[in-house]
Structure formats: structure tokens, C-alpha cells
Amino acid sequence: MDEHGTTLSPGTSLGQSAAQERLDLLISRVLRLGVTVAAVIGAVGLVLFFLRGPQPGEPQSLHELLTLRAGSLATSPQQLLEGLLTGQPEDIMRVGLLVLILTPTARVALTLILFLLERDFVFVIISAIVLLILLLGFVGIVGG
Amino acid sequence: MAGIELFVLVLFVVSFLAGLLGSLIGLGGGILVVPVLTLIFRLDIHLAVGASIVSIIATSSGAAAAYVRDHLTNVRAGIFLELATSTGAVLGALLVPFLSSRMLYFLFAAFLLLSLGPMARRLGEEVPSGVRPDWLARHLRLGGAYPDRVLGRVVTYEVTRVPVGFAMMFVAGLASALLGLGAGALKVLAMDWGMRMPMKVSTATSNFMIGVTAAASAGIYFWRGDVVPVIATPVMLGVLAGSLVGAQLLLRLTNRRVRQLFIPILLVIALQMLLRGLGVW
């Protein structure tokens, strides 16, 4: 792993349990995967944007972009889906950003499962509440 | 049209630098993104906050993945404290449409200036000693151990004053959503000053929590239309690349250096945002 490998390597030298070791690795992987997928989708959207220019309904010039007012680009799942089906660059970027937003939520869901496997019920409840707050913040606004 | 494309490239480069610095000082990187977007590019602060809050998830997740793998993160303490930050964040995101731009500039400046004082006073403490865990820390088993590469040994530590840290984390969640930053300064403070955790563990755990805190408000910003794709995407990609480089550097720096980097950067930004809030600049 690195030059200090033998003395400070993960696992037994830290006195951590195998379960803790697995949890750390899995969390690390989920975070990395979510961010990587989001970055790839975002990059594809950007390349398309450079090729095709702004889609209708989005800022058409730099001036328009920089003087944009808050709330004027509100979107919905239906609009997003329609844009995706026609390959609109901005909507592809939106999907990348959505994947990013959902990555920490996936991490919380994952830790909930791992605490469940460890039968650590206090932390199962704690993770479940955090997950609920995240989903309320997200879904509550989509519906309304 | 070419203007937008050049702008996108400039945003990417600037965001790379913001991500690098942000990761080194244990912040989301958003602390630099919002000032850059508003002070240099004169963007509506609400939209700057929207782009920033999403980019913060990338910074923190990229760096958090590295810290968790290297066992610097206190996962249990992080998840417990996320109860406070995510509640504060949802509340903040629902509040933000009722606040004017000038109010947000003031809050941004005030928030930064307030986090400067405690940082300067306690400059230089590597690992707190003689910490006795309180009732909550004992029952939730929040203490831990981490490998310190600079000290060359595994450091075990206890956690105390959990309610103090919890309350500070609620405020951190609120500030994160209102101002589009990870509130990493306050999160680190809540852990290393409030709960007396080692600086490096505080920094790593802060990064771990920032993603969840930001995600709690980012969904609300997203559907409201305040996450503009052409702005948020290059910012996200740049900040992510910068934070990955920064995370590698942090493992080779001492805690003291991390803090020394912290202070002058925050001071300059706070003063600029204050001037903007006053309408001077």
C-alpha cells in the first residue's frame, strides 16, 4: 500500500474487528462508485453541450447565464425524462448531479444494513432516522 | 455561445484549485466556490449556493472514501452526529427562499469570522490527552483509534461532551444548507474543541459527514431549479479532481500545518463577503 505499510496497515494492527474492516472498505467503495458514475455522466453531458450548444429553455448566452435569477430553471421528473429521451445535454448533466446527490443517501442505507448484520440495534435506529430525514428532504419536495 | 463554453472551462480550473485547498483544510471546497461564483462572476448567490452544495458532495465523498479506507474516520460518531446535521440542513433549505441575497452575504461572512477565533486560539494541538468519555460516548461506544503517519504510531482516543458537539452540528447543518458550504470549519470545531477528538480524526469525520449534510438540502435545491447544470457540472468535476489530489497531500502534513493554512484563507474570504453584504464591493 505505501512505505509505512507493515506497521500501519489496516486491520489487525489497529485491533479492529473484521466487520469494522469490511464496513470501512464497503463505505469507501460505494462513495467512490457513486462519485465516479456521477462524474462520468456529467462529463458526457458537458461534451454533448460543447458539441450541440444549449438546449431550448436553458440560458443561451453567457450574459443570460450570469444574470439568471433563482428558481427560474425549476424542473420535474417528467421534464427531466423527456429531455433525456431526446438526449438534451443539460438534462444528462442533471442526471449526473442527481446520482451525486443520492450517493450519500446510499451510503447511509448501506451502513444501516451493516449495523443490522452486526446486530447493533441502537445504530440501526440512528441510521434509519438519518435515512428518513434524507428521503423526506428529497421526495417531499418532488411530490409537492 | 462561445462565451458559455470558455466560462465552463474557466469554472473547471478555478474549481480544481478550490477543491484542492478545501480538501487540505478540511472544508467542503464550497467555502471557496460560493465566493468565486459571486465575487468574481457576479452570479446570484442563491444559484452559487446551489452549485456549491452539489459540488460539496463530490469533494467530501472523494476525500471521505480515502479517509475511511485509511481508518482516519470515526464512522460511529459521524453517523450519530448526522442526526443533527441533516435535520438542520432540511430546515435551512426550506428557509433559504425567504432570505435576501444581502442577508446571505452577511451570514456567510459572519459564519466564517466566528469560526476563526477558536481556530487561532487552539493552534497546534495534535492529539488531546486526559479525555474522559461522558455517558453518551460510553454507551454509544464513540471512542476509537487511528494510524497517525506523522507520529508513526496508532493513536487511541476517547470522546466527551457529546451534547455540545451535537448542538454545534445542528447549527453546522443549518449553515451548510443556507450558505452552500460543508460547514467543515464548524464540524471540525464541534469534534476537536467540543468533543475533544484528535484534529485529524475530526477533519476526516467532518469530510465523511459533509456529504450527507449537503445531500439533505441538495435535493430541495435541485428540484427548485437552483442547481444550474452548466455551472454545477464543471464545478463538481473540478472540485472532485482537486479534492482527490488534496486528500493524498493531507496524509503527509501535520495537524499544525493544516490549521495554519486554514486561517488566512478564511479571513480574506470573510472580509470580501462582508463588503458585498454592505454593498461596498
Give the residue from chain B lying closest to A104, CA to CA: B212
pLDDT value, residue B125 = 57
Q: Rounded distance, CA A102 to CA A120, Å?
A: 25
Q: Is the pLDDT of residue A7 over 50?
A: no
pLDDT value, residue B254 = 60
Do the chains contact at B224 and A141, CB–CB below 8 Å?
yes
- Please say whether the beta carbons of B15 and B239 come within 8 A: yes
Q: Which domain holds residue B5?
A: 1-278
Q: Rounded distance, CA A3 to CA B149, Å?
A: 10
Of the listed ranges A64-68, A76-80, B214-218, B254-258, the one predicted with least confidence: B254-258
Percent of chain B clearing pLDDT 90 (strictly above): 36
Q: Residue B204, Cα to own-chain centre: how many angstroms?
A: 11
Q: Rounded distance, CA B63 to CA B59, Å?
A: 6
Q: Tell me the sheet residues that pair with B157.
A: B144
pLDDT value, residue B184 = 80
- Please say whether the beta carbons of B272 and B281 come within 8 A: yes
Mean of all residue pLDDT scores within chain B? 85
**Residues within 8 A of B (CB atoms), A 77-96 only:** 89-91, 93-94, 96
Per-residue confidence band for B1, with pLDDT thresholds at 50, 70 and 90: very low
pLDDT value, residue A16 = 55
Size of interface A-B (CB pairs under 8 A): 223
Q: Chain B contact for A7, CB < 8 A?
A: yes
Q: Is the pLDDT of residue A127 over 80?
A: yes
Q: Rounded distance, CA B158 to CA A87, Å?
A: 53
Q: Rounded distance, CA B61 to CA B73, Å?
A: 12
Do the chains contact at B216 and A108, CB–CB below 8 Å?
no
Mean pLDDT of B30-56: 87
Mean pLDDT of B234-242: 90
Of the listed ranges A69-73, A139-143, B43-47, the one predicted with least confidence: A139-143
Per-residue confidence band for A78, with pLDDT thresholds at 50, 70 and 90: confident
Query: Which residues of chain B have a CB within 8 Å of the CB of A73?
Result: 225-226, 228
More confident residue, B74 or B203: B74
Do the chains contact at B68 and A24, CB–CB below 8 Å?
yes
pLDDT value, residue B62 = 72
Mutate to test the interface with A, among B87, B150, B151, B222 (most CBs of A within 10 A): B222
Do the chains contact at B54 and A100, CB–CB below 8 Å?
yes
Of the listed ranges A87-101, B122-136, B163-177, the one predicted with least confidence: B122-136
Q: Tell me the sheet residues that pair with B155.
A: B146
Q: Chain B contact for A33, CB < 8 A?
A: no
Q: What is the tally of structural domains in chain B?
A: 1
Angle subtended at Cα B33 by Cα B15 and Cα B59, rounded to the nearest 5 degrees: 65
What's chain B's length in residues? 281
Whether the model clears a pTM of 0.95, i.e. scores above it, the answer is no
Query: Which residues of chain A have a CB within 8 Å of the CB of B233?
Result: 42, 45-46, 93, 96-97
Q: Chain B contact for A141, CB < 8 A?
A: yes
Number of H helices, E strands in chain A: 6, 0
* B157-179 tens-digit pLDDT: 999 999 999 999 999 999 999 99
Angle subtended at Cα B138 by Cα B133 and Cα B143, rounded to the nearest 5 degrees: 70
Do the chains contact at A74 and B66, CB–CB below 8 Å?
no
Q: Is the pLDDT of residue B182 over 50?
A: yes
- Please say whether the beta carbons of B176 and B92 come within 8 A: yes
Do the chains contact at A130 and B82, CB–CB below 8 Å?
yes
Which of B80, B89, B226 faces A126 most closely, judged by CB atoms? B80
- For residue B121, give how far its alpha carbon lies from the nearest alpha carbon of chain A (Å): 32
* A17-42 tens-digit pLDDT: 676 677 778 888 888 899 999 999 99
Q: Chain B contact for A104, CB < 8 A?
A: yes
Do the chains contact at A31 and B64, CB–CB below 8 Å?
yes
Q: How many CA atoms lie within 13 A of B240 on its CB side?
A: 28
pLDDT value, residue B26 = 58
Exposed e or buried b per residue across A16-53, where buried means at least 16 C-beta atoms within 10 angstroms of its C-beta = beeebeebbebbbebbbebbbebbebbbebbebbeeee
Mean pLDDT of B206-210: 89
More confident residue, A132 or B188: A132
Q: Is the pLDDT of residue B149 over 70?
A: yes
- For residue B117, give how far its alpha carbon lies from the nearest alpha carbon of chain A (Å): 31
Q: Is the pLDDT of residue A9 over 80?
A: no
Q: Is the pLDDT of residue A128 over 90?
A: yes
DSSP string, B108-161: HHHHHHHHHHHHHHTTT--S--S----HHHHHTT--EEEEETTTTEEEEE----
pLDDT value, residue A42 = 95
Mutate to test the interface with B, among A66, A67, A95, A116 (most CBs of B within 10 A): A66
Q: Chain B contact for A1, CB < 8 A?
A: no
Which of A14, A34, A58 faces B145 most closely, judged by CB atoms? A14
pLDDT value, residue A21 = 74
Residue ranges per domain, chain A?
Answer: 15-52+80-143
Mutate to test the interface with A, among B8, B104, B223, B244 (most CBs of A within 10 A): B223
Do the chains contact at A38 and B1, CB–CB below 8 Å?
no
pLDDT value, residue B183 = 84
Q: Is the pLDDT of residue A3 over 50?
A: no
Which of A14, A103, A111 faces B71 most closely, judged by CB atoms? A14
